[in-house]
Chains A and B, each alone.
Chain A
Amino acid sequence: MPGLKQAGNRVYEWLEDRLGLGKPILDAAEHEVPASTASWWYVFGSAATVLLIMQVVTGILLGLVYSPSAGQAWSSLEFLDHSVRLGWFLRALHGWGSDFMIAIVLIHLAQVFLFGAYKFPRELTWIVGVFLLLLTLGMAFTGQVLRFDQDAYWGLGIGASIMSRVPIVGGSLVDMMLGGPIIAGPTLTRFFALHVFIIPGALLSLVGVHLWMVLRLGINEWPMPGRLVNKSTYTSEYRKLTKETGIAFVPDAAWKDAIFAAAIMLAVMACAFYFGPFGPTGQPDPTIIQTAPKPDFAFLWIFAVLAYLPPSLETPVLFIAPVLIVGAMLLLPLVSGEGEKHWSRRPVAVLMVAVIAVTLGIFTHLGTYTPWSPVMDAWTADPIPAAYLHDRTPLERQGALVLQNKQCRNCHSIGGTGGLRGPALDGIASRMTEDQIIRQVLQGGGNMPAYGNALSPAETTALVRFLTSLRSENQPAAFDASRNLVTNEPQPAAPTGTH
């Protein structure tokens, strides 16, 4: 074999004489890093890069089949799923790869934030990283549009509706986003160009810049409590640290990156294999309105926030909050470029990460079951528990029918089934008097529409009789405390609710 090795060396040298890339690449790979950075906490950036490469490769492979035409995109996805050998697996890899990439990018962000890596001299590395995060989210949103199904179609509608709220230029922005007067062919081709050319181009170049700066400025050393960053001394201190404890990045530190990247890739493949590709859900046919559109996982929290914002605050929050959030992230290293790096001495930073993570988690969880949405088929699908019909008068039973027929169940649950938009009606009689129920039903209020026009007096009476029977035996019926004061009657032991 020595002959073969020699021949190999000769080929390498022939290429190296002409290219001259081998030496700088080897130097970069073997550059010295502080030994403390050979840590399992430092593997997320490289894992995100590996995922990005996989997304590029699987994306190109999907591009061999996908048809970016509004009339055919959905069919070409079905074709990929069912008629192209392993097409389903490639779609699944790309879809799960995207979810994993967002997760890893967010973990990477939290890690470099908690390790103070954004401080001098790595401010610009952080700023570029913020743009990388935004571009990653941009890829996720445009990718969801390319999966041109019902969710994608109505998701575009949500995007256009948000755009339309921009003062003055809103209408023009909607037209530019959609490429025409409605969501149609020109809309899909726009998002195709964004997802396939524009955002990946920006993403790959900025990843290059990001990596270049990591090489040029050195990886952030493991922070020590009390070792403060000072712009005048940091660089020499870092050089000294690297000289004293330096190890070659490849292989001494990089083996952990490589193992983690392999584990992540394996996880993506396993998810893709077991859970399969995402959708496509129903066809992007706007005449099929029996649909409950929902964004992909990464955007569920926004979907939830949009349900809870009061109408008057919605537009300002929609446009001011992102500017403030992104602005704060961009300014962070410029404002706080020096000082303590260690998390144990930065309680506010730790608290922020915890609060933001819990907030995003809660809103995402709410987004998975959308308690604010009416359950459109509850009125025909969900039964009234038999116990609530036992020993009831005919009028009360008639009221149960009214409750069912008038679709109250779509927003109110009884016996654990039905909508969660309004309060559950089990035990309502222990919380509201008959008068209050009548007023609430006829005039609405809070988050409830007025039913005065949809109910006849007879229906109202029956409904209210049924509702006033909804309390368990050990719950006293609600009563109007002030009335007893006015009428000077002794407080009833068990008010019946009839006045």
Chain B
Amino acid sequence: MNENESNSVDEKSAPNPASDEASRAKEATHSRRAFLFKLSLLANGAVGAVLAVPIFGYLLGPGLKKKQSDLSWIGIGAMSEFPEGETRLTTFRNPVTTAWDGQTGDVSCWVRRISGTQFQVFAVNCAHLGCPVRWFAESKLFLCPCHGGAYYEDGGRASGPPERGLFEYEHRIVGDMLQISAGKMPTLAAKASSGGTLTQIAGTNAPQESTGLQSNQDTAKPRCGSCQG
């Protein structure tokens, strides 16, 4: 309907100077409207760019977090639970969990007590692709079920596809309690421990340090990961 109307108007008005002026006015409004449309695109682009900041902030949030903030000291058992010269599996609750994590909030680790206060705590995750390695006490090897990675009792690479030894948690002894610094899935990009393995003995030797730590960190109480602060 509209098309027909405008067509008929155009036909009639072609030679008419009055409607010539009308078409010029129409042209002017068109150019004004086209300009306004471009302006609106610009405005929407600007709004979109502002909106993109929180959206990408939300999306990339987990990746932008500081690496060390996930780690904290967790008690994984009394020293007496780990016989000397043996390697035992133990489990702990990850320090950062959500209420709906269920069993997935639990983590296992291999504890090797070499002698006395000398410990090594290994992640169960194979350094190849993260599958859970199993300890074979007779052959003194950790074996991975996925692709056959094998490690010696000290965590060193023995054979198979892994390009390095097992990931090792930093640990220390507070009183009689063996604690490890954990909280993050160990991968090649986030090795459980950064440097060499040191057995730190806190407690009787360094009372001021241990009291400071015991007050907030050394109990394996699950924390809320989604809460702020």
Mutual binders A and B = yes
Q: Are A454 and B140 in contact (CB under 8 A)?
A: yes
Residues from chain B with a CB closer than 8 A to the CB of A232 are none
Hey, which chain A residues are within 8 Å of B125, CB to CB? 157, 161
Determine if A72 and B100 form an interchain contact, defined as CB atoms under 8 angstroms apart.
Answer: yes
Which of A289, A303, A376 sits near B89, CB closer than 8 Å?
A: A289
Measured CA separation A283–B102 after assembly (Å):
11
B20 within 8 Å of A (CB atoms): no
A180 touches B225 (CB 8 A): yes
Contacts of A162 in B (CB 8 A): 129
- Would you call B62 and A306 a contact (CB within 8 A)? no
B104 contacts A449, C-beta separation under 8 Å = no
Residues of chain B contacted by A283 (CB below 8 angstroms): 103
Q: A285 with B106: in contact, given A180-B225, A450-B158 (CB under 8 Å)?
A: yes
User: What residues on B are CB-neighbors of A164 within 8 Å?
Assistant: 187-190
| Interface size in chain B (residues, C-beta < 8 A) | 60
Binds B, one of A34-42, A206-214, A336-344, A402-410: A402-410
Distance in angstroms from B218 CB to nearest chain A CB is 19
Residue from the list A72, A175, A285, A379 in contact with B62, Cβ < 8 A: A175
Q: How far is the CB of B74 from chain A (nearest CB, A)?
A: 13
The answer to whether A287 and B108 touch (CB under 8 A), given A154-B131, A181-B70, A181-B96, is yes
CA distance A70 to B147 in the complex (A): 27
| Cβ A70 vs Cβ B100 within 8 A | yes
Chain A contact residues (Cβ within 8 angstroms of B): what range? 35 or more
- B139: CB under 8 A from chain A? yes
Given the interface pairs A173-B63, A184-B97, the reply to whether A291 lies near B132 with Cβ below 8 Å is yes
Q: Which residues of B contact A160 (CB under 8 A)?
A: 130, 185, 187
Q: Is chain A's interface secondary structure helix, strand, loop, or mixed overall?
A: loop
> Which of B77-85, B159-167, B169-177 contacts its partner?
B159-167
Interface stretch of the complex, out of A136-144, A220-228, A307-315: A307-315
Shortest beta-carbon distance from B44 to chain A in Å: 22
- Residues from 82 to 109 in A contacting B, C-beta threshold 8 Å: none
Q: A161-B128, A373-B147 are in contact. Are A314 and B64 (CB under 8 A)?
A: no
Assembled-state Cα–Cα distance A14/B125 (Å): 66
**A161:B188 contact, CB within 8 angstroms:** yes
Closest to A454 in B: B140
> In the complex, which residues of chain B have a beta carbon less than 8 angstroms from the beta carbon of A290?
134
Q: With A and B bound together, what is the CA distance between A69 and B140 in angstroms?
A: 39
B145 to chain A, nearest CB (A): 4
- Answer whether residue B101 sits at the interface, using C-beta atoms and an 8 A cutoff: yes
Enumerate chain A residues within 8 angstroms of B132, measured Cβ to Cβ.
154, 286, 289, 291
Closest to B103 in A: A285
Separation in Å of the A114 CB from the closest CB of chain B?
A: 34
Inter-chain CA distance A453–B141, complex, in Å, is 10
Which 3 residue pairs are nearest across A and B when measured between Cβ atoms?
Answer: A71-B102, A164-B187, A449-B158
Known: A154-B146, A181-B185, A454-B141. 11 other contacts (CB 8 A): A70-B101, A174-B187, A174-B189, A175-B65, A176-B63, A182-B183, A185-B97, A186-B226, A187-B104, A284-B102, A311-B162
Q: Give me 14 A-to-B residue pairs in the complex whose CB atoms sit less than 8 angstroms apart, sorted by A's number.
A: A70-B100, A70-B102, A154-B130, A157-B131, A161-B125, A174-B190, A184-B94, A285-B103, A289-B124, A292-B146, A314-B163, A376-B134, A406-B139, A447-B159
